[in-house]
Amino acid sequence: MSIVVTAATGHLGTLVIDELLQRIPADQVVAVARNAEKAAPLAERGVAVRIADYNDPAALAKAFGPGDTVLLISGIEPNRREQHQTVIDTAKDAGAARIVYTSVLGGPEADFDLAADHIATEQAILDSGLPYTFLRNGWYNENYTEQIPVQLANGVVGSAGDGRIGSAARRDYAAAAAVVLTGAGHEKQAYELNGDTSWTLTDYAAELSKQSGQDVAYNNLSTEKHAKVLIGAGLPEPVAQLFAGVDNAIERGLLAGRGSDLSRLIGRATTPIADSIAAALKS
């Protein structure tokens, strides 16, 4: 019986495995990755690596075993709903004991387009009959801080108005996943995960200005104009519409936060956006 982490070489997956190795021996962890070269550092740490992707049920079947706990990290491709179903079906056929899924804050109450695949995946897991835990992740600090070079040059652009964002660092969400994967009492639970404090994009621009020493303004656009800006920056139109739709959800308060599940699970305060800005500027 192992803990199997899918998308193990991605931003979140790598951090989840790092958190797991602080809690359990490496021979209890299986990393599922598409690229053996990228997964080599995990193998060097003693983690078993299985090469597979969400489109290949035959390869996935070799990654899962009876009694395993499977962390399904949500995909990013347009067909991810079908990909998730493949993982669920394969895990069930392999005799997995539980599936843990990285969903979206609010679950079925999240009515924006980016959430639709998450809602469908939660339902597919419920329909499978597998014991489950839903990690309904809010927005990551890094969704903003990874764009700091562009923000310093062009300002912060969005369409969230004065909506508040209850974000946390990706490492915080990874730690919560590791706690749930290694602990008892989490079956049939849906955890609403978000930061302890929330902020607006105006607050973010002000903090970035303070720490960088540059004048960074927040330019609030309409949803339609925001989508056009994102398209002009090179995003495909459907992706641009999805992200502009997230800002609309923020403006309506859907990503402001839904309690303290995250800090309770990890046993510490979540990472403030100011700390993530500082770390990004240093790097």
Tell me the pTM. Answer: 0.96
Asked whether residue 242 is domain-assigned, the answer is: no
Residue 181 lies in a domain: yes
> Of 79, 86, 70, 88, which Cα lies nearest the Cα of 125?
88
Work out the percent of the chain whose per-residue pLDDT is above 70. 100
Residue 76 is predicted with a pLDDT of: 85
Residue 271 lies in a domain: no
Say if 55 falls within a structural domain: yes
- What is the SS3 assignment for 143? helix
Using pLDDT thresholds of 50, 70 and 90, give the confidence band for residue 246. Answer: very high
Instruction: Check whether 163 has a pLDDT greater than 90.
Output: yes
Whole domain around residue 119: which residue ranges?
3-138+169-192
Q: What local confidence, expressed as pLDDT, does residue 241 receive?
A: 93
The answer to the question of residue 245 being in a domain is no
Residue type, 128: S
Answer whether residue 27 shows pLDDT above 90.
yes
The CA distance from 8 to 30, in Å, is 9
Q: Mean pLDDT over all residues of the chain?
A: 96
In a domain, 149, yes or no: no
Q: Is residue 157 part of a domain?
A: no
Residue 1 has pLDDT above 90, yes or no: no
Q: How many domains does the chain have?
A: 1
User: Tell me, what's the pLDDT at 78?
Assistant: 83
Cα Rg of the chain (Å, integer): 19
CATH of the domain at 126: 3.40.50.720
98-136: pLDDT as tens digits:
999 999 999 999 999 999 999 999 999 999 999 999 999
Q: Comparing C-alpha atoms, which of 107, 118, 48 is closest to residue 83?
A: 118
